[in-house]
Chain A
Amino acid sequence: EVQLVESGGGVVRPGGSLRLSCAASGFTFDDYGVSWVRQAPGKGLEWVSDINWNGVSTSYADSVKGRFTISRDNAKNSLYLQMNSLGAEDTALYHCARRSNGYYFDYWGQGTLVTVSS
């Protein structure tokens, strides 16, 4: 069974940093690209960042470019998101999602909540 379990969320002050993790199981992790997708409270889905299977190719939404860094450790079946210079607009539930070869998201984690507040 494919599982994606996020962790690392919490409350952080504006301007602070946080590192999210996503532990993958039930599939060959390094066969797939993976993304972070966030959902502000009561709002819709927003793609944040993506990394290809070997970590060589990454991409970011304009709203996080220069502040967030995506990475992965295939030996640990894990995905990460380093978030710096956080603002209130980054408050959201952060999901990791497995990207199919067709670039849609075929499995999602339940998410980890990030709250930016003073």
Chain B
Amino acid sequence: EIVLTQSPATLSLSPGERATLSCGASQSVSSRNLAWYQQRPGLAPRLLIYGASSRATGIPDRFSGSGSGTDFTLTISRLEPEDFAVYYCQQYGSSPWTFGQGTKVEIK
């Protein structure tokens, strides 16, 4: 099973700042089969990025994804108040599909 490790566990930033979240895989993720999700408190996860870098429908362009192989990054260019949430990466290139443990982006 591919283990995904997200860092940092918590990111303390101010609105307007840039956020950089990392997701490392224990094995290469085939065909860039990596997604990012946002989860606000009490709500269902929301798909942000698939295919490592493709934005899902309706996702603002301040969210961008990059990476390949074992190293992936989610960048939020300028944090808006609604962006303070927990972010998860997920690989779907090999079974079982696995998630990272999450990065919490909190207001500094």
Contact = CB atoms under 8 A, between A and B. Distances in A.
Given A59-B95, A103-B33, A44 B47 contact: no
Contact of A109 (B35, B44, B98): B44
- Secondary structure at chain B's binding surface: helix, strand, loop or mixed? loop
Nearest to A103: B92
B10 to A, nearest CB: 14
A102 B44 contact: no
Contacts of A106: 47, 50, 56
Interface residues of B, number: 22
B28 interface: no
Nearest to A50: B97
Contact of A47 (B46, B51, B56, B98): B98
B96 to A, nearest CB: 5
Interface of A: 44-47, 50, 59, 61-62, 95, 97, 100, 102-111
15 contacts: A44-B88, A44-B99, A44-B101, A46-B99, A47-B98, A47-B99, A50-B97, A59-B95, A62-B96, A95-B44, A100-B50, A102-B33, A104-B50, A105-B35, A109-B44
